[in-house]
Amino acid sequence: MTSKSFGKLADGKEVELFILKNKSGAEVRLTNLGAAIVSIVVPDRGGSFGDVILGHDDPQGYVADHSYLGFIVGRYGNRIGKGEFSLNGKVYQLGINDGEHHLHGGVNGFHRKLWNVPASTDSSVSMRCISPDGDEGYPGKVTLDVTYTWNDNNELVIDYKGTSDAPTILNPTSHGYFNLTADPRNTILDHELLIEADRFTPSGSGSIPTGKIEKVEGTPFDFRAWRKIGERIDAPFEQLQLARGYDHNFVLNRYDKAIHRAAAVYEPKGGRLMEVFTDQPGIQFYSGNYLDGSLKGKGGIAYQRRSALCLEAQHFPDSPNQPQFPSVVLHPSETYRQTTTYRFSVKK
C-alpha cells in the first residue's frame, strides 16, 4: 500500500489517496473522504487493464457529488420513509434529503465525513468514522470501522464493524457504480446480470417499499438466470416505470449470516466478470437511472443515464418501519458486522 495527498478541502484539511496493487498489477485506489472507492483497475479478456468504477479526480469532485459515487453511505444505506422511525417507544425524525424521505444517511451522512485511518498493511486500509449522538437525527454515538483489502485474486473485500453507546439503527453499504467496459461513455445495457434471489421488495412512490415481498418469477425482475440488463428495462411494468428502470432491493435466497454469492455481472465484449459475495439479506440493484450528464467524473467524462450499475449489499429499505423485514437495530452490547466482496475475473 502506498499513500499520497489527494488534495485539500475548502477548510484546508488534507485528503488522502491510498493505492493497493496486487502481484498481477491490478489496482484499487481509495480515499478517506467518505471512505470512497476511487478506482478499480483490472484486466479484460485480452489482458488490457481498465478502470471499472465511476469516480472523481479530486476531493472537490466528491464534495460536489450528489450521486454517492463509490462512497460508504449511512448510517442507513437506502431510504427511510419520511425520515421517521420508532425505537423503544420513541419517535426519531431524521434529515430529509430525497423528496419527503431520508436517503443514505442524510445530507451529512458517512459520505460527507473525512474518515480517520487507524491502520494499514501492504494490502489493506482501515478507515474509521465517528458519528455523534443526534447526527442527522440518529440516536447514539456510533463508531464504524471499514477495512478494504485487495488481494492477489482480484478480490476487494470490505469488512465493516460498528458499535453504538445507545440503541440505534445501522445499515451501511458501499455505493460503487460499475461499468465493466471500463469506458463510462458506454451504457451497461449489454451487461449480463445474475441475482441469486427468488423475491424482491416492490416499491411505491418515492421508492419506499410497500411492505410486500413478491416473487420475481414471470416479471422483468427475474435474474435467476443470466439476462441482459437492457432486455426488459423499458418494459411496461409498473415497478420499472416508477423507478425509471431498476432501483430495487432483492431478497437473497441464502441468508444465514454466512457469506454467499449474491449476484454476478458479465460484460461479454471484453470478458470481465464481477461477482458479489455478502452476508447481508438483500442487495439493491440500481441501473443508473438518475445519472443525467450533469455529473462529471474522472477525465471530465459526463456520466449519462445507465452508464453504470450498483449492487449494494444491505438490509432492506425502510426496515425500521417494516417489522416483517430483518431487524437493523443495534444495541450497545452488540457489534454490527458485515463482509462484502467484489471479485473480478475474466471469461475466456
Residues acting as catalytic residues: 175, 312
Residue 4 zone, left/alpha/beta (φ > 0; ψ -120 to 50; rest) = beta
Residue 21 CB neighbour total at 10 angstroms: 16
| CA 258/CA 8 separation, integer angstroms | 40
Where do the DSSP E strands lie in 96-212?
102-103, 116-120, 124-131, 142-150, 155-164, 168-169, 173-174, 192-195, 199-201
Cβ contact 239:270 at 8 Å = no
**Longest alpha-carbon distance in the chain:** 59
Pairing of strands 84-87, 90-93: antiparallel
DSSP state of 230: G
The three-state secondary structure class of 292 is: coil
How many whole angstroms from its chain centre is CA 169?
18
CB 345 within 8 A of CB 337: no
Locate all alpha helices (DSSP H) within the chain, ordered by sequence.
59-64, 238-243
Q: Which of 9, 109, 39 is nearest to 299 (CA)?
A: 39
Please give the distance of CA 174 from its chain centroid, rounded to a whole number. 3
Give me the residue label for grid cell 484499487: 28
